[in-house]
Structures are given as C-alpha cells and as structure tokens.
C-alpha cells in the first residue's frame, strides 16, 4: 500500500521541554549512527518521497515498574547522522488502543512511537525497539521465515498496535525478535532486552537477505 512516510497518526499531547537530564543517550545514539551509515535509518532523496525513515527507542523505567516510558528519536530526524539530546523525545504515557501518546522533548516523537509502545507493554523485559527500512529484508520476508504484519494495516495506528500484540504472542516471534511490516514499505522492527543484540539481529538478518539475493542472482 502507498502512504506518506513520517506522518504522525496518533493523538499527541506534547510538552516542549528538554528530556530528563539524567537519561544517557550515548549507547542509543552510537547504534543509531551505525544504522544511519548502513542506510537502514536515514533520509535519501529518491526514497519515500524524500522523507526521513527509521527510528530507535529505549525503555527508561525500571523493569519492575508498571509505567511504560521510553526515549525515542524525534519525528523526521532521519537525515541527521548523529543526533543530540534535543533530537530525542521522552514518551511518558502511551495508550495504543486509544491512539494516544503524551510526551516531552524539544521535538515530537517519531510517527512510529505507538508501535514501539505496543512492544514495550507486552513484556517488561523488552528494553529496546529499533525500526529500520530495509528493502532486502522486507522483500525476502517469506524466504527468511520472518513473522509479518498484514499488508492492509498501516504504521502508527491502533490496528498496527493490536497486530503487533498478536505477533508477540507467537513462539516464532519470541524466538526471532524481528518482523516485517508488510503494510509499511520496507519497514522492519526488531526488539530485545539489549540495544546491541537488537541492532546486531537486524544486521545479521540484513546479511542473510543479501546472501539470498546474491545466491539467486549468481547460481
């Protein structure tokens, strides 16, 4: 399906103020910069009508807390190689089923924040979510045996949140921790209890997808 990239579809109550000064962005920013260099997050003139793509988040509340708070890269920051604190937003409340987010920061959260929230709310052990755009993985979803959301469900919607909740209950996704969003062109989401493991899962899956394509081309 065709859609405009980067459009916020949820109801947002955002307060323009710096995120909590005690939140470190060093690790999340390092991994995001690496994914930018791999063009899995970014902004490229001839892709998605020139809009930025991809986002990254990290849980900031204690695993034993009932709250679901996280920091996430801000909307349309894809074209910036290395972000600063002002480019992150702090989600302080999310209700995917009511299509509602409250946040603070010097810029609004990513348009995909609702989906990130849905992942975090399923399991307190999940500490990070990364959303990239990778045509190689997306086009080889079945060959890679990846879970996937329905092609008629758009990103950043309550329907997507419900679909993600469904997928997260499957043993296959619990094992792989990465899935394709077939209703969001090239959209891939990975998650885990560790930022490095999540990013490396994406990179390893990227490599497998490239290998599949090269095998088909040169065999």
Q: What is the pLDDT of residues 155-199, one digit of tens each?
A: 778 888 889 889 999 999 999 999 999 999 999 999 999 999 999
Each as own residue / partner, the long-range contacts of residues 210-213 (CB below 8 Å, 24 or more positions apart, any chain) are 210/136, 212/140, 212/143, 212/144, 213/136, 213/140
Q: Are 87 and 80 in contact (CB under 8 A)?
A: yes
The reply to whether 181 falls in a domain is: yes
Q: Please check the confidence at residue 203 and state whether its pLDDT lies above 90.
A: yes
The reply to whether 1 falls in a domain is: no
Q: Please check the confidence at residue 2 and state whether its pLDDT lies above 50.
A: no
Domain that holds residue 201: 11-218
Q: Are 157 and 183 in contact (CB under 8 A)?
A: no
The reply to whether 2 falls in a domain is: no
pLDDT at 62: 56
Report the SS3 class of residue 203.
helix
Q: Are 190 and 177 in contact (CB under 8 A)?
A: yes
Q: Which residues does 6 contact at the CB level (< 8 Å), separation at least 6? A: 48, 51, 52, 53, 75, 76, 78, 111
More confident residue, 74 or 64: 74
Report CA Rg, the chain: 16
The reply to whether 205 falls in a domain is: yes
The reply to whether 180 falls in a domain is: yes
The reply to whether 176 falls in a domain is: yes
The reply to whether 57 falls in a domain is: yes
Residue 43 — very low, low, confident or very high, per pLDDT cuts 50/70/90? very high
Task: Report the alpha-carbon distance of residue 80 to residue 93 in Å, rounded.
Answer: 26
Q: Please check the confidence at residue 150 and state whether its pLDDT lies above 50.
A: yes
In total, how many domains does the chain have?
Answer: 1
Q: Please check the confidence at residue 44 and state whether its pLDDT lies above 70.
A: yes
* CATH number of the domain bearing residue 125: 3.40.225.10
Work out the angle between the directed axes of helices 26-37 and 195-218 (0-180°, nearest 10): 10
Task: Report the alpha-carbon distance of residue 84 to residue 101 in Å, rounded.
Answer: 22
Span of 65-74, 95-104, 204-213 with lowest mean pLDDT: 65-74
The reply to whether 5 falls in a domain is: no
Task: Report the alpha-carbon distance of residue 162 to residue 118 in Å, rounded.
Answer: 8
């Amino acid at each position: 399906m065709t859609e405009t990239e980067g459009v916020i579809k949820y109801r947002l109550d955002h307060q323009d103020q710096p995120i909590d000064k005690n939140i470190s962005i060093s690790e999340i920013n390092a991994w995001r910069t690496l994914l930018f260099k791999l063009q899995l997050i970014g902004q490229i003139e001839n892709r998605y009508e020139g809009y930025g793509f991809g986002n990254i988040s990290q849980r900031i509340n204690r695993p034993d807390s009932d709250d679901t708070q996280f920091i996430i890269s801000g909307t349309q920051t894809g074209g910036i190689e290395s972000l600063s604190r002002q480019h992150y937003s702090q989600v302080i409340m999310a209700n995917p089923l009511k299509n509602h987010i409250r946040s603070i920061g010097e810029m609004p959260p990513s348009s995909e924040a609702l989906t990130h929230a849905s992942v975090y709310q399923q399991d307190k052990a999940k500490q990070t979510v990364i959303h990239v755009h990778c045509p190689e993985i997306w086009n080889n979803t079945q060959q890679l045996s990846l879970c996937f959301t329905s092609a008629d469900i758009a990103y950043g919607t309550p329907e997507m949140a419900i679909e993600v909740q469904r997928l997260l209950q499957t043993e296959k996704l619990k094992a792989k921790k990465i899935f394709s969003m077939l209703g969001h062109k090239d959209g891939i989401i990975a998650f885990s209890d560790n930022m490095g493991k999540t990013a490396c899962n994406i990179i390893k899956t990227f490599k497998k997808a490239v290998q599949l394509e090269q095998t088909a081309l040169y065999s």
